[in-house]
Amino acid sequence: MAIRRTRALIVGLVAVLASGLVSVLAGTGIAHADSALISVYSPSMDKDIPVKVLKAAGGGPAPTLYLLDGLRAPDDNNGWLIETDVENFFAGKHVNVVIPFGGGGTFYSDWLRDDPKLGRVKWETFLTNELPPVMASQFGSDGVNNAVAGLSMSGTSALNLAIHRPDFYKAVASYSGYPTASSPGFAQGIQVSVAQMGGNAQNMWGFWPSAAWIRNDPLLNVGALRGKSVYISSGAGSAAGDPTVDPDSKSFDPVKFSQTVPLETASGLSSRSFVPAAKAAGANVQTHIADEGLHTWPYWQDRLHESWASTLAPALGTS
């Protein structure tokens, strides 16, 4: 009964995505790792971007994982650092983990026009052209073995970055992303979510369904992932094991339900549509798509661990 009620909420997908594409719940403790907080100037955006780098252990050139935040990414921190064990998890691993601050509401994209609220948005240029030379010169990144991963909003972004620059990324992971970005309902949800962060999606990708919307829909450009290592995860908003999101339970919490269940249900529908297309296109796809899983940081932390072992580390030639 609860699952049927959850699926019925897709009728209101615009309202669902408007609630933020990411919810921040209580996180886990963070262990200290060998890291550096640097400021990287972006010529394309004409501003400095704070970046936390978890340094690769061991000597010699290292692969690089770019780890992106969600819709409400703060300008002075990153959800992966606040809410997960990412610093402890990557301690001792031979990989540079790049964790940029900011980008909230931008889809880490190059926008068509400057935005009155979000300004000049050229995150794709920053991540793929401006930041990598810094990683090579200051942290010994090899410039060849690169991967990108993101959750919710940035799960979509990570797929787009890998599709736009298949020469740069060997692997990509999307946790609870929306890879059918230009599809009816999903596109309107994206428009509203950008507006929640003060931006105007018309400045981002123009009027839907413009060429820019098509370009930034992973499903419609999946052929660029041929030969790439791809990890896709999402839940379906099942209440199993958590009575606080079960409408039939006395412990039901409607606020938590609205923040964690419908968004994950929508991601499950989108991700299930994407996976067979990616496999048909010749991508090496690993998945974790199941009924269990909510739109929460603990879920994404677990999927990061899983994707590192199954997909990202093998593609990067490390462990």
Catalytic residue numbers, as ranges: 152, 264, 295
Structure tokens at 16: 């669902």
Distance separating alpha carbons of residues 233 and 267, to the nearest angstrom: 9
Q: Residue 39, class by beta-carbon neighbours within 10 Å (0-12 exposed, 13-18 middle, 19+ buried)?
A: exposed
Q: Return the bridge partners of 289, or none.
A: 234
Structure tokens at 224: 């660029």
Residues 6 or more apart from 293 whose CB is under 8 A from it?
A: 176, 233, 234, 235, 236, 237, 238, 264, 268, 299
Residue type, 117: K
Distance separating alpha carbons of residues 289 and 275, to the nearest angstrom: 10
Specify whether the CB–CB gap between 238 and 227 falls below 8 A.
no
Distance separating alpha carbons of residues 9 and 126, to the nearest angstrom: 37
* β-bridge pairing 47-54 and 96-100: antiparallel
Distance separating alpha carbons of residues 136 and 253, to the nearest angstrom: 47
Phi, psi of 269 (to 5 degrees): -65, -45
